[in-house]
Structure 1
């Protein structure tokens, strides 16, 4: 079977679970570090012709990360495209099983997927719960809003983000409003915007800042098995 992945987390999931199936991935697919496949452009601007030349049996994508016109072009060319929809942890685990077992033809769930389920089943939220703002971009400032996978993971760890009830999933919010939100901390992932110790915390003077791994907060794949431990350590 030949698989092309348009999503970094799905690339890692397929590469770890079924080595040899992947023939193409995006320029942003950095895990596993030694992945040796044809690069077919970005998640938002894949090279459709390059994908067609790879003659994949399956293209895996995500409704949030990839653009519908690109996916429609692939379908129109006769390719099978499996699109994941992820809003929370249970949905992520179910979609991973669908991609790997139903889509890629694995005979059973990979061991890491069971390990991820067990790791999160064992999580008990820390008390007292904390309130956070969670920027995902700056210039302009954008934060986690409603129905996000990252927001669900944080909630399971005892951190409630203050824009969970916003009508948009990734709203633009002025910095002054974020500063005045009454948050206990600001959570700054290193993707999609790469917040660092020198780029992000200074915008929230007096507010504790937690720099967290975007791969563990926003990716649904093998990183989920260690995400509770990694995220909890960063949030302390």
Structure 2
């Protein structure tokens, strides 16, 4: 169920759905990232056999967007439009539900993809991209899903585009999610793992504080934005760590 919600990969049509099952699937969000990151790593290696690294990065980013249906990127753009363009809580939530793309969303999405491309190109020169894709995709989804346990869900269930999203999380599920998110970083190094943990905790605290002030909780779009922002932070942290 987590795979079907966060990707376009096919699952058996007989898979049953319920709110409870959706909530329980939240523990596997990081593992979906692990699978997607592994696919992107393989795709990059395939493209890089005959194309320059920069072109291979772009092609892999395209494949990534196809794999997820630009799900998280859409959340980033909608959150930017809603919080950037709305002056009241109701207006912000209404704008987030609007499928049209505004100036704030377009600018944020464009800059986010640009920063991702530039940092990934820089990383190709100093490390194996297999680890980069896997850590970026896995850890960022674990961090994004962790907000489910620390904030209320504020979007209108009837009008939200993300109403099937898990909105409760047990302590054991959060622990499992965190472990899945941290383990891939160990393949890069203990120092980097500690760096990522500190970065993730700092991002969680600051982003949570900002969302509570702006909209009083989170929406599905906010989780998508959190994933994209954390993924970029991981790439930047990798660049700093490996560039030393």
Given the two structures, how large is their TM-score scaled by the length of structure 1?
0.27
Q: Which has the higher helix share?
A: 2
TM-score by length of 2: 0.26
Give the greater-gyration-radius structure (CA). 1
Q: Which has the higher strand share?
A: 1
